[in-house]
A = this chain, B = another copy of it.
Amino acid sequence: VSGHRLLISCRDEIGLVHRITGVLLRGGFNIVGNDEFVDQGAKHFFMRTAFAGPSSTDGLVEALREVLPPEASVWLAPSTARTIVLLATKEAHCLGDLLLRHEEGELAARVAAVVSNHDTLRTLVTRFGIPFHHVPHEGLDRAAHEAAVLDVLAGYAPDLLVLAKYMRVLSAEFVARYPARIINIHHSFLPAFVGARPYHQAFSRGVKIIGATAHIVTDDLDEGPILAQGVLPVTHAHTAADMAQAGRDVEKIVLARGLSLMLDDRVFVKGRRTVVFE
């Protein structure tokens, strides 16, 4: 999409839409799509506006701030493609799917590199001409391993990190370096089956539907705000391994969906919840 995108969130008050659209109108911009939501319980206002017009948006954020409450969050999407780094461990399905989408130009972002704590996926990644960094965790404590990963990341200055089945828990310190900029795929329909081996838990419980959840990573494991979820029917005939196999298709589709929502600037995070304008 050509054009600009604006995300505004603040406490609700009368006249916000009129004031915001007034600023856009005076700037010569035409609104192409507008989504607004007021959380009536929290009295909070969320608005995503896609607009066209002059290519320069210089001064726009400042002009908007003049008509908004002081604490308002105003985000004008950058006009250049964002840089993302993918983190993975040994499983190829999510990673490969994203690399294919990237190669086909489907992702509105540049995949700069892949970082993994194992060397297993090197061949796959290098097939696509993307730098692969093996940062082994053996013999290192979590802090030391994360320092090594952060070191590699620093060289790419990523806008977003995507955990494509990265099977290490990130520390609060790590997450704080990329606040609301790390997305993860959890292989269950959260909050069912938090923690380890969700497909084994699902098998043991005898569920008839399994799922996957893409979420923003916070320092509270498996509790980050949810971006997207998907499900798949299963039967008694699925072993835990069969569920894991079948679940891969949901995982990769849901992760790509969550990433796409982020890259299209469709997501607000508010506490443990998201507002997603689809």
Residues of A within 8 A of B (CB): 14-18, 21-22, 24-25, 30-41, 92-93, 96-97, 100, 103-104, 106, 124, 127-128, 189-193, 204-209, 211, 225-231, 233, 235-237, 239, 245, 248-249, 253, 256, 272-276, 278
Task: Give bound CA distance, A211 to B100, whole Å.
Answer: 22
Given A31-B36, A93-B104, A100-B93; A207-B231 close (CB under 8 Å): no
Q: Please classify the interface of chain A as helix (H, G, I), strand (E, B), loop, or mixed, using the class held by over half of its residues.
A: mixed
Q: How far is the CB of A272 from chain B (nearest CB, A)?
A: 6
In the complex, what's the smallest C-beta–C-beta distance from A261 to chain B, in angstroms?
11
- Interchain CA distance A38-B92 in the complex, whole Å: 31
Our pick among B31, B35, B38, B41 for the contact of A38 (Cβ within 8 Å) is: B31
A-B pairs with beta carbons under 8 Å apart, 13 shown = A14-B25, A15-B25, A18-B18, A18-B22, A33-B36, A34-B35, A92-B100, A96-B100, A97-B97, A189-B189, A209-B211, A235-B276, A236-B275
Distance (Å) between the CB of A56 and the closest chain B CB?
17
Rounded to whole angstroms, the CA-CA distance of A117 and B162 in the bound complex is: 36
A48 to chain B, nearest CB (A): 11
> Which partner residue on chain B sits nearest A211 by CB separation?
B209
Q: Within the assembled complex, what's the spacing in Å between the Cα atoms of A204 and B24?
A: 32
* Cα-based distance from A275 to B105 in the complex (angstroms): 29
Judge whether B208 and A229 touch: CB under 8 Å: yes
Q: Which residues of B contact A32 (CB under 8 A)?
A: 38, 40
- With the chains together, A186 CA to B92 CA distance in Å? 27
Q: Is the CB of A205 within 8 A of B272?
A: yes
Given contacts A92-B100, A92-B104, contact A17 B37 (CB under 8 A): no
> When the two chains form their complex, are residues B229 and A207 in contact, meaning their CB atoms are under 8 A apart?
yes
- Residue ID in chain B nearest A14 by CB atoms: B30
Chain B min CB distance to A209 (Å): 5
Taking the closest CB of chain B, its distance from the CB of A119, in whole angstroms, is: 16
Cα of A205 to Cα of B231 in the assembled complex, Å: 17
A103 and B22 CA atoms in complex are apart in Å by: 46
> Complex Cα distance A185/B274, Å?
29
